[in-house]
Chains A and B, each alone.
Chain A
């Protein structure tokens, strides 16, 4: 299989327990930045109900590098945090982020490519998947509001997350 242009074979990094202390610290700091982004920035840069999901960014960033196991574990932890913020339907985000983290890790392993476009696609897909799961589980909303959320806000938020996340990933790479 020929891989053109900037595409190259992925070098999936080791799981965090095999990383050096410095690398682990850098990852932890980066995850911390994403967490702060969720708590401090997310509301401010939202357009109504359309907002980037910093937890999804942290999740994809980790799952892409560490694989599905750590993707699902981090997804669960981040999901619990998101649930604690909202209380209602506690466990909903934990489930959504766990599924997304696992799926992103598996997809990355299966595709075995390390190209920015793939990361962008995974970001958008993960944000879309978590949005769809949380919208479906949080279903007791009026039909009109459900449609608005499902067909407009969730896809728009996924694109927003992918765009901002792609930018941040690029900054991190450089």
Chain B
């Protein structure tokens, strides 16, 4: 015991290292929960005060507000385009699916996991603003990620750069829009796994397909930078994507929150919400002369 007391610093050091390693090995949900507790106790109040002081002092806040305003207008414009496209579609097809308009909750990024490609973000909107877990987070450029944890005043966003990120996606190239899975590899690259037959090539746009519980259809994910075959099994292609959103330069984001949560009626957000930017789909396709391929872009048809 006396020897241990003489080595107290080593014992404490070893215990702290073990505790840190144990925290490192917690599942993401538990890590977010622990972080939320630490945040609530100390960091979040300081960060919110910092935001308010900066807002009071002016320039940065003013800049962010104007930027958010501009982006909000861009989204409204996209929404108008979407309405036009939607009307045309409804005339052509009698099938009408009730949709719940999304409310765009503008949020400022309080902190990020740093580096060029942050994997998580802490935003200044929480349950008080209707932000809950599993809601899409976007900018006018495209998809940022999804919320994974929400507190009263803040939420944690898992970005497209996180190794646990997955989204069903459509590659708008070739004769048809090809459905695949967008995921981030352990090497930190966003890639799209599509069948070997896929004709999508470099430069083709990739958007969310609307299949799955979180992301509505049509949110830009990125563009194909490089087409690669699965070298091991040769059963699929793993196209490397250039993400649509430069997370490093993003200061504000929007959370797609159902305007009327009751209207969802138990449905998943992706099947009920619509992304205004989906109106860009025809434009993107028209640019490449692939309007026909959009017919297959409907999730109902694209579903395997």
B208 to chain A: closest CB distance in Å?
22
Q: Does A17 contact B (CB under 8 A)?
A: no
Name the contact of B12 in the complex, choosing from A49, A73, A91, A95 (C-beta under 8 A): A73
A62 to chain B: closest CB distance in Å?
14
Whether B20 pairs with A95 at a CB distance below 8 angstroms is: yes
A128 to chain B: closest CB distance in Å?
16
Contacts of B43 in A (CB 8 A): 39, 81, 84-85
Give A86 to B32 CA distance when docked, in angstroms.
9
Q: Does B263 contact A (CB under 8 A)?
A: no
| Residue of A with least CB distance to B53 | A40
Whether B20 pairs with A91 at a CB distance below 8 angstroms is: yes
Q: How large is the interface on B (under 10, 10 to 19, 20 to 34, 35 or more residues)?
A: 35 or more
Whether A99 pairs with B17 at a CB distance below 8 angstroms is: yes
Contacts of B32 in A (CB 8 A): 87, 90
Give A79 to B38 CA distance when docked, in angstroms.
11
Whether A140 pairs with B187 at a CB distance below 8 angstroms is: yes
Knowing A90-B35, A92-B24 touch, does A69 contact B156 (C-beta < 8 A)? no
Give A142 to B189 CA distance when docked, in angstroms.
6
Chain A 132-143 interface 0/1 with B at a Cβ cutoff of 8 Å (1 = within): 000001101111
A residues neighboring B (CB under 8 Å) = 35-36, 39-40, 49, 67-69, 72-73, 75-76, 79-81, 83-92, 94-95, 98-99, 102, 105, 137-138, 140-143, 145-146, 148-149
Given contacts A69-B12, A87-B35, A140-B185, 13 further A-B contacts (CB under 8 A): A39-B47, A39-B50, A72-B16, A79-B20, A83-B23, A84-B35, A86-B122, A87-B120, A90-B32, A90-B34, A90-B35, A91-B26, A149-B116
Contacts of B119 in A (CB 8 A): 88
Whether A85 pairs with B34 at a CB distance below 8 angstroms is: no
Dominant secondary structure at the A interface: helix
Whether B50 pairs with A95 at a CB distance below 8 angstroms is: no
Give A54 to B78 CA distance when docked, in angstroms.
43
Q: Which candidate, B107-115, B193-201, B215-223, B271-279, is the interface stretch facing chain A?
A: B107-115
Give A95 to B187 CA distance when docked, in angstroms.
23
Contacts of B13 in A (CB 8 A): 68-69, 72, 98, 102
Whether B31 pairs with A87 at a CB distance below 8 angstroms is: yes
Whether B24 pairs with A89 at a CB distance below 8 angstroms is: yes
Whether A76 pairs with B20 at a CB distance below 8 angstroms is: yes
Knowing A39-B50, A72-B16, A79-B20 touch, does A87 contact B113 (C-beta < 8 A)? yes
Name the contact of B187 in the complex, choosing from A87, A137, A142, A149 (C-beta under 8 A): A142
Q: Does B203 contact A (CB under 8 A)?
A: no
Q: Does B188 contact A (CB under 8 A)?
A: yes
Give A28 to B25 CA distance when docked, in angstroms.
32
Give A105 to B20 CA distance when docked, in angstroms.
19
Contacts of A80 in B (CB 8 A): 23, 38
Whether B23 pairs with A94 at a CB distance below 8 angstroms is: yes
Contacts of A49 in B (CB 8 A): 114-116
B250 to chain A: closest CB distance in Å?
13
Contacts of A86 in B (CB 8 A): 111-114, 120, 122
| Residue of A with least CB distance to B9 | A69
Contacts of B185 in A (CB 8 A): 140
Contacts of A85 in B (CB 8 A): 39, 43, 111, 122
Name the contact of B24 in the complex, choosing from A39, A90, A142 (C-beta under 8 A): A90
Contacts of A39 in B (CB 8 A): 43, 46-47, 50
Whether B20 pairs with A145 at a CB distance below 8 angstroms is: no
Give A39 to B114 CA distance when docked, in angstroms.
13
Contacts of A84 in B (CB 8 A): 34-35, 38-39, 43
Contacts of B47 in A (CB 8 A): 39
Which of B112, B113, B156 is most buried by chain A, counting CB atoms within 10 A of its CB?
A: B113
Listed A/B pairs (21) with beta-carbon separation below 8 Å: A40-B50, A49-B114, A68-B9, A68-B13, A69-B8, A76-B19, A84-B35, A84-B43, A89-B24, A91-B23, A94-B16, A94-B20, A95-B17, A95-B20, A95-B21, A98-B16, A102-B9, A141-B187, A143-B187, A146-B188, A148-B116
